[in-house]
Amino acid sequence: MFEEPYRWMEAVSTRHNYVQEKLKMGQPVLAVPYNEGLLIFGFAPQPGKIYEIYDRIALGGVGHPADVEKLRMNLLDMAHLEGFNRSAQDVTSTRLLQFGIAPALKQNFEEIQRAPYIIRLLLVELTEQGKPNFFRMNYDGHWETFKNGTAIAGDEKVMDWLQREIQKQPFDSYSLDQALQKAAKLWDESRKIKSNDSEDEKNNELPETLKEAFDQWYLEGAVLTEKSMSKAIYRSLSEDEINRLKSSTG
């Protein structure tokens, strides 16, 4: 009887190791401010990393596609139910995280009979005052808030390195093209920051340069800005914007 808490702690520790190992190959998603709003983007072998959640809220995901999709749908349902029962102004990332998705993820992770979600999520929001907010959520329900941008990645060393480098850049003074170029450079450089046990990565034919990533993978990206030709706050990156970025990287 007295051994049960220790068995539970050991099981939770094993779940952490299991999920972290499964996530390790996940490619980074970056979110940064720029002088007219915020930018979120990432490269991946197949589409499915960047989504619109509500008028001023977008989502980036790393992990198992089925888990990312399930949580995306949960967030969509929460956002629209909140907007219907209250008002569109009451739909905020903080409420969705604090009262919705975070408790559900924590409960799922600590119930050792259930399979854990293999995900990391990045939520971004442009407030009514035009201020960008950035949130990062772990598979166990723990979430953090950032003012100047953030990133998620499968490898924690990569994620921590990206976070430090993002804070060094004055992204909020950049144009969209400048922010894209700087963020893409960080994405490229982050691929050199790997864990010691990266044998699996050596056996996979991953793009070695940013140019190869453009050729072999999909670039998904979106901006949230009030300075656009339409009423929509969220829009995907245009083909011209992606082509300019590709040209600037050589």
- Condensed to tens digits (0 to 9), the pLDDT of residues 44-63 reads 888 889 999 999 999 999 99
Output the six-digit token pair for 107: 């409960």
For 59-102, what is each residue's pLDDT tens digit? 999 999 999 999 999 999 999 999 999 888 889 999 999 999 99
In a domain, 67, yes or no: yes
For the chain, the average pLDDT equals: 90
Q: Which two tokens stand for residue 18?
A: 């299991």
Q: Is residue 12 part of a domain?
A: no
3-state class of 57 per DSSP?
strand
Residue 123's region, left for phi above 0, alpha for psi from -120 to 50, else beta, is: beta
Range of the domain at 43: 25-248
pTM recorded for the entire structure: 0.90
Amino acid at 2: F
Please check the confidence at residue 201 and state whether its pLDDT lies above 60. no
Q: What is the model's pLDDT at position 76?
A: 95
Note whether 126 and 38 are within 8 A (CB). yes
CATH number for the domain harbouring residue 91:
3.60.20.10
With respect to residue 3, please indicate whether it lies within any of the assigned structural domains.
Answer: no
Asked whether residue 43 carries a pLDDT value surpassing 50, the answer given is: yes
Domain total in the chain: 1
Query: Within 10 A of 108 (CB to CB), how many other CB atoms are there?
Result: 15
Of 225, 41, 75, 47, residue with least CA distance to 151: 41
Q: What pLDDT, on a 0 to 100 scale, did the predictor assign at position 8?
A: 79
How sure is the predictor about 18, in pLDDT bands with cuts at 50, 70 and 90? very high
Q: Is residue 194 part of a domain?
A: yes
How far apart are alpha carbons 83 and 92 in whole angstroms? 10
Separation CA 246–CA 250 (nearest Å): 7
Residue 189 lies in a domain: yes
Section 8-29 average pLDDT: 92
Among candidates 21, 20, 15, 26, which has minimal Cα distance to 162? Answer: 26
How does pLDDT run across 134-183, given as a tens digit for each residue? 999 999 999 999 999 999 999 999 999 999 999 999 999 999 999 999 99
Model pLDDT, residue 196: 47
Is 176 part of any domain?
yes
Tell whether 17 is covered by a domain: no
Query: Is residue 16 assigned to a domain?
Result: no
